[in-house]
Amino acid sequence: MVSPRRHAERHRTDRIGWLRAAVLGANDGIVSTASLVVGVAAAGTDPGGVLVTGIAGLVAGAMSMAAGEYVSVHSQADTEKADIARERGELAANPAAELQELASLYVARGVDPELAQRMATQMMAHDALGAHSRDELGISEAVSARPVQAALASAASFAAGAALPLAVTAVAPAPALMAWVCATSLVFLAVLGALAAGAGGAAQLAGAWRVTFWGALAMGITAGVGAMFGAIA
């Protein structure tokens, strides 16, 4: 008798939580900090003031990202817990109806009704709540909400992303500061977009182009606003 063996497979769904938070944080760190630096520089601020403004933006942005990500993901986690608790109550109150509901889900996905009934019976006997959470609610361990993980990943990645244009600001010659920050930040964004797309299994060129375009737009608009207020002052 040949024993069943699972072949090794590499899927990317387990990366969804941290990958989304990390990419969003790093992208926001680069775009917001570079735009802030460029906008303040366009208003005629001296290089020292531009650097201090950028550092303040890094700290404030990292804390804002962490707080926002924690609150939003925690709300998702609360919703998932409430749905699971409701499903647990329904299983306790009417297991027969829940069995038929699970079987109907399998039938809707193309399984023969008789086989679907057997599958549902076996799944309910093994882990009724897990089966309904996964197949009815779409909640699984791989994609479940993790607020603390998301908050830490967002804050750390924002700070890492923001540090890149700040480093350029610190070493770039004052007359060409804006040009240096804009050019290098676009390169950073392109690399980030390509790496994120590759980690998620998507097309790297499309990922690079997407974040570069929006980064350039943000920096261009902020530079225009900074120059306008600098002229007024």
Q: What is the DSSP letter of 43?
A: T
Encoding tokens for residue 204?
A: 């790297």
> Whole-model pTM?
0.69
Phi, psi of 107 (to 5 degrees): -65, -40
C-alpha–C-alpha distance, residues 125 and 120, integer Å: 8
Highest mean pLDDT among 41-45, 144-148, 191-195: 41-45
Mark out the alpha helices in 95-203 (DSSP H runs): 95-108, 113-135, 147-171, 177-200
Angle at 163 between CA 160 and CA 168, to 5 degrees: 145
Confidence class for position 13, pLDDT limits 50, 70, 90? very low
Which pLDDT value is given to residue 7?
46
Write out pLDDT tens, residues 71-99: 888 887 788 788 778 878 888 888 888 88
Write out pLDDT tens, residues 16-39: 555 666 777 888 999 999 999 999
State the first-to-last Cα distance of the chain, in angstroms, to the nearest integer.
85
Contact assessment for residue 150 and residue 17, using Cβ atoms and an 8 Å cutoff: yes
The percent of residues in the chain predicted with pLDDT above 70, rounded, is 85
The residue-averaged pLDDT of 158-177 equals 93
Alpha carbon distances (Å) from 229 to 37, 44, 225, 232: 14, 9, 6, 5
Confidence class for position 220, pLDDT limits 50, 70, 90? very high
Taking the CB of residue 118, how many other CB atoms lie within 10 A of it? Answer: 14
Alpha carbon distances (Å) from 178 to 29, 37, 170, 224: 17, 8, 12, 12
Asked whether residue 145 carries a pLDDT value surpassing 70, the answer given is: no
Which pLDDT value is given to residue 33?
94
Task: Look over the chain and give the mean of its residue pLDDT values, rounded to a whole number.
Answer: 82
